[in-house]
Homo-oligomer: A and B are copies of this chain.
Amino acid sequence: MRNILLTMTYDGSKFHGWQIQNNAVSVQEVFQKALFQVLGKPADIKGCSRTDSGVHANMYCVSFHTDHRIPVERIAPAVNNYLPPSIAVLSAKEVPMDFHARYSCKGKEYIYKIWNSEIRNPFLHGYALHYWYQLDLDAMNEAGSHLIGCHDFTSFCTLDNREKGDFHRTIKEFNICRKDEMVVLTVEADGFLYNMVRIIVGTMLYVSKGKIAPGDIPEIIKAENRKKAGPTAPPEGLYLNRVFY
């Protein structure tokens, strides 16, 4: 038996999220079928996170145990052979048997892309949020600085049966920068609650609009109340960008 860690990337606009579900095509389902073609039997795949419908991954990790003897450097090209163009395996390596793509994860980085222009960009439909009004990056960065550190992020979490227990997470990095019309928000944390990045983005858009002041953020965190933060931004701008082990 070996434990294999695969790194992949996928265009989330073509899928209903990572996780297998009825009546909708998920990345996991398509990936599992391709892996089955290579290994000749089903593998129990551990994904590094559940990404929502329409969310993209520049980097996504999965691990699985196998007794197949395929050389590790052959795995990526072999699996890619059976995958559609919307998913690509970037690399594969052997890891210790107790490694788990989700539980061994030490942190993740997400980016959120915003096309900030009065005119839409046809090439970014489904790949960035189109936002008409000029964004106030200074205010957004000031607001974001209050998110850094270890906090209870209940106010930035969609409550459903997914989230149990501790709502503390540590945000290590936060910044928003612009290159011409493209604004990119980057946030790194030891872990993320359900919809956390999208609610952070929605809150930042409220900050830019003046509906929330940058100095209100500590109070919003302290409230531990989802209603105090801004709306959940749409999924199409969100990319899982890096996974740390």
Residue numbers of A with Cβ under 8 A of B are 9-11, 56, 76-77, 80, 85-90, 118-123, 125, 127
Contact = CB atoms under 8 A, between A and B. Distances in A.
Contacts of A87: 122
Copies of this protein in the assembly total 2
A16 B150 CA distance: 53
A119 B78 CA distance: 12
A125 B85 contact: yes
Given A11-B125, A85-B125, A90 B119 contact: yes
A183 to B, nearest CB: 18
Nearest to A120: B88
23 contacts: A9-B121, A9-B122, A9-B123, A10-B122, A11-B123, A11-B125, A56-B123, A76-B119, A77-B118, A80-B119, A80-B120, A85-B120, A85-B125, A86-B122, A86-B125, A87-B122, A88-B119, A88-B120, A88-B121, A88-B122, A89-B119, A90-B119, A123-B127
A104 B87 CA distance: 44
Nearest to A91: B119
A122 B30 CA distance: 14
Nearest to A57: B122
A180 to B, nearest CB: 13
A58 to B, nearest CB: 8
Nearest to A118: B77
A38 to B, nearest CB: 16
A196 to B, nearest CB: 24
A76 B11 CA distance: 30
A179 to B, nearest CB: 14
Query: Of residues A80, A89, A121, A123, which shows the largest number of chain B Cβ atoms within 10 Å of its Cβ?
Result: A123
A154 to B, nearest CB: 34
Nearest to A77: B118
Contacts of A121: 9, 88
Residue of A10, A77, A87, A125 with most partner-chain B CB within 10 A: A125
